[in-house]
Amino acid sequence: MSTGTPRRFHIAVASGKGGTGKTTVAIGMARTIGETQLLDADAEEPNIHLFFPVQWDKETPVQRLIPEVNFDRCTYCGRCASTCQFNALVVFGQKLLFFEELCHGCGACSLVCPEKAVTEKPRRIGVIRGPVQWGRTLLWEARLEVGEASGTQLIREMKHIIRQDLPAVIDAAPGASCPVMEAIKGSDYCLLVTEPTPFGLSDLQIAVEAVRELGVPLGVVINRSTGEDHLIDEFCAQAQLPILARIPFNRAAAEAYSRGQHPVDAVPGFAEIFAGLWRALQAQLEVQLQKEGFRA
Amino acid sequence: MRDIAITATAPALDAEVDARFGRASYFILISAENPADWEAAANPALSAGGGAGVAAGQFLASKGVKALLTGNVGPNAFSVLQAAGIAVFPVNGQTVREAYQNYLKNSLSRTAQPTKAADHLH
Amino acid sequence: MKPFRELVVISGKGGTGKTTLTASFSYLVGRSVQCDADVDAPDLWILLQPKIEAEGSFSGGKVARISPEKCIGCGLCYQHCRYEAIGPANSTTRMAGLTSDFSYYWVADRQLEGHRQPQEGRFLSNTNPETNPKTPLPPEILPTLQEPASSQEQAGQASLPPDQGRIFRIDPNSCEGCGVCQIVCPVAAVQLEERYSGQWFSGETAYGPMVYARLAPGQENSGKLVTLVRQKAQILARNHQIPLIIIDGPPGTGCPVISALTGVDLALVVTEPTLSGKHDLERVAALAEHLRVPLAIVVNKYDLNPEITSELESWAAAHSYPVLGRIPFSPAVTQSLLAKDIAVRQENPASSAIREIWSRVRGTLHLGEGGK
């Protein structure tokens, strides 16, 4: 990497919808940057592992707290139930019911219980697997426990647990939901991957709006470019967004992907495209660095 | 005593029975003894982000309802209804009035388990 | 019996041609109710071009707000928040002004709380039983809060009154609206407000009435919004006496998909012959099974990898899921899309496959003849 680019930086790779080639770009970036970390932040459907035949030998369980009721002390006053914003507790008559899968683990019930009948106990929300070495890349994956509603907290925890002395490429889930926002939040740059179609444009517009709200600088990567990208070009010009790379439409790339191979390894020319993307990205990072000073 | 609750798509006896429980538009609360004794209550759980079935169940429990006539009830809501001693009678494609009359004629059968899987967790 | 049938088109992941297929069905039926339940990325309107006749906003859940004039900076809300949504209100960097100072803040916090990594795993913020009930805010944090190193050099920062570092603020992107901050605030400086979470639209297309919705960025309630658009579609079907609702479902297997699947008459899964496509298909099938929804499969771009296509098909056969057809890879489909046209209106191998699939779907749903 060039001397001006800070050693520790986070690049989020996102897209307004799935199937745009986001994961392809994230893996390609990680390969090209060199010594880096690659985070699969799609906790509901982690799938980067499909491209890497690795053994996950390290994993860290992540826990949150859920209430536990001491029925000897409970007077069924109903304070906990009326406080719970998620309807996870119900009290009527001499009955109290708790619905674990509705609980967000905020702790409000134990705070308000006048009898101190509600305490808390840990519940596993998922695991963070990794790091595992693949080439020069350290892989991490967040995997949500089945039945857990949202991966947001798990993603947040994954960003805390990774090596803080290495750069990271974060492959967010598709869309603009909470876990996606969490994956992008605090990153130094966000790459939005899109296709040069009307659908791609519509989804890109939504994603741009979302990322701008987070205050993360962003640029666009056009995947499956046919050379006629005017839809995206016009939007980006108007929205003052840099287009950092155009990955050409290539049937061989699609076929390689379907075999679980990355186009960078399988298709001639792709390594150069990603090298170009990395150079453009470094230039962008340096602009940001000058603009606001770097937060190490 | 308005001891029967019927989910409804509109606040009227001729409205269709709402197939959803937690996200039903209205509850018609009606007396088993006197068909003229009824009221329509907007479902307070409709605005809940999650756990609508649970909240709706708690609402009916607070109203002292004994029987619920509706389309589908998920497992969370069902446990609330069960704990509150509210019997659940699934109905399909009837108006509120028809469902009420069928209930009085004993031609509805009570279900001992949820009629569908949880809607969603969040 | 409800007076209409509901067909939902879904896929384990996005970009598999779900919307293209949905719009083609709408065209082939002639008249049906269109319902775009992919509220994270609604695209069906681009092809069907409804004339919007009604729209409305939609709120879901709560979000907390701290009144800066009331906040005394005691930090109790910060200590109790488990979503890392509360931080100092002195930041001026970046847009919402929160991100960069937040990350700084949390790094500092973590250095102090080395004990937060017990043997058996990690606890989320402020949830370690060892520090629960919560310890007081370490006094040494407060001074550092006032001087975030990153923004210190910035022009204008120096003129901030020193007390500003003691005022706390909520990042709405992280707030889950649990209300704990409101409970612990000693001066009632916190309000819980309704959270704007999206917009719905309805209008007439050339192929019947349509309803769709768009979730606001970062909003989580798409299950509720999906329920809302489906409900509106059902009302349209009743009012216009249309016997079929075609739903463009959301991708994935999360909460919005569950809402889109519940109670439909047929779920058609569009899958591609890729390793991840197969993986996603299995997950979506398990979900449909769980919800007791009949499932059928279509393989799109099957010729990209004939081997995986046959694997998908034998997997489907082994689980008794009907495969209603294979669609060949066709650049003409992309060309139609670029022209905002419906793929099946052109004559090509892909569109004949789609026509065939539609006739099988119609059979599966026991719909009469009709349409094109």
Amino acid A134: pLDDT: 86
Amino acid C215: pLDDT: 85
**Residues pairing with B53 in the sheet:** none
Number of C-alpha atoms within 13 angstroms, CB side, residue C243?
Answer: 11
Helix or strand holding residue A209 (H, E)? helix A198-214
Amino acid C95: pLDDT: 25
Structure token pair of residue B50: 């999650």
Q: Round to the nearest angstrom and report the end-to-end CA distance of chain C.
A: 27
Measured distance CA(C142)–CA(C88) in Å, rounded: 10
Q: Which chain C positions have a beta carbon within 8 Å of B120's beta carbon?
A: 223, 255-256, 258-259
Q: Is residue B85 part of a domain?
A: yes
Tally of structural domains, chain B? 1
Measured distance CA(A232)–CA(B46) in Å, rounded: 40
Measured distance CA(A171)–CA(A49) in Å, rounded: 12
Q: Round to the nearest angstrom and report the end-to-end CA distance of chain A.
A: 17
What is the SS3 assignment for A150? coil
What would the pLDDT profile of A71-129 be if each residue is shown by its tens digit? 999 999 999 999 999 999 999 889 999 998 788 889 999 999 999 999 988 888 889 99
CATH of the domain at B100: 3.30.420.130
Q: Is residue B41 part of a domain?
A: yes
Amino acid C158: pLDDT: 35
Amino acid C125: pLDDT: 60
Amino acid C284: pLDDT: 87
Best of A86, A102, A106, A153 to substitute, by most chain B Cβ atoms within 10 angstroms, is A102
Mean pLDDT, residues A135-163: 86
Q: How many CB pairs under 8 A join A and C?
A: 240
**Residues pairing with C10 in the sheet:** C269
Residues of the domain holding B77: 4-104
Please state which architecture CATH assigns to domain A10-35+167-292.
3-Layer(aba) Sandwich (3.40)
Measured distance CA(A4)–CA(A2) in Å, rounded: 6
What would the pLDDT profile of A218-255 be if each residue is shown by its tens digit? 999 999 898 889 999 999 999 999 999 999 887 887 78
The closest alpha carbon to C293, from C1, C20, C36, C6, belongs to C6
Quick one: what percent of chain A has pLDDT higher than 90?
A: 46
Residue of chain B nearest A151, judged by CA positions:
B122
Q: Which residues of chain C have pLDDT under 50?
A: 91-120, 129, 131-165
Q: Which residues of chain B have pLDDT under 70?
A: 116-122
Amino acid C98: pLDDT: 30
Q: Is residue B109 part of a domain?
A: no
Helix or strand holding residue C19 (H, E)? helix C18-29
A139, A7 Cβ separation under 8 angstroms? no
- CATH T-level assignment (fold) for domain A64-124: Alpha-Beta Plaits (3.30.70)
Domains and CATH numbers, chain C: 5-59+199-364 (3.40.50.300), 74-168 (no CATH)
Closest Cβ opposite residue B62 in set A92, A95, A147: A92
Best of C125, C157, C275, C302 to substitute, by most chain A Cβ atoms within 10 angstroms, is C275
CB contact under 8 A, A178 and C219: yes
Q: Cα separations (Å) of A204 from A14, A45, A187, C84, C315?
A: 10, 21, 19, 28, 35
Amino acid A227: pLDDT: 82
Name which residue leads in pLDDT, A292 or A217: A217
Q: Residue A11: which pLDDT band, with cuts at 50, 70 and 90?
A: very high
CB contact under 8 A, B84 and A147: no
Measured distance CA(A22)–CA(B5) in Å, rounded: 50
Q: Provide the mean pLDDT of chain A.
A: 87
Amino acid C134: pLDDT: 42
Domains A10-35+167-292 and A64-124 share a fold: no
CB contact under 8 A, B57 and A90: yes
Residue A4 burial class via C-beta count within 10 angstroms: exposed 0-12, middle 13-18, buried 19 and up = exposed
Q: What's the complex ipTM?
A: 0.83
Measured distance CA(A24)–CA(A292) in Å, rounded: 30
A28, C237 Cβ separation under 8 angstroms? no
Q: Where are the domains of chain A?
A: 10-35+167-292, 64-124
Amino acid C155: pLDDT: 37
Q: Cα separations (Å) of C300 from A112, A189, C34, C295, C325?
A: 54, 34, 22, 16, 9
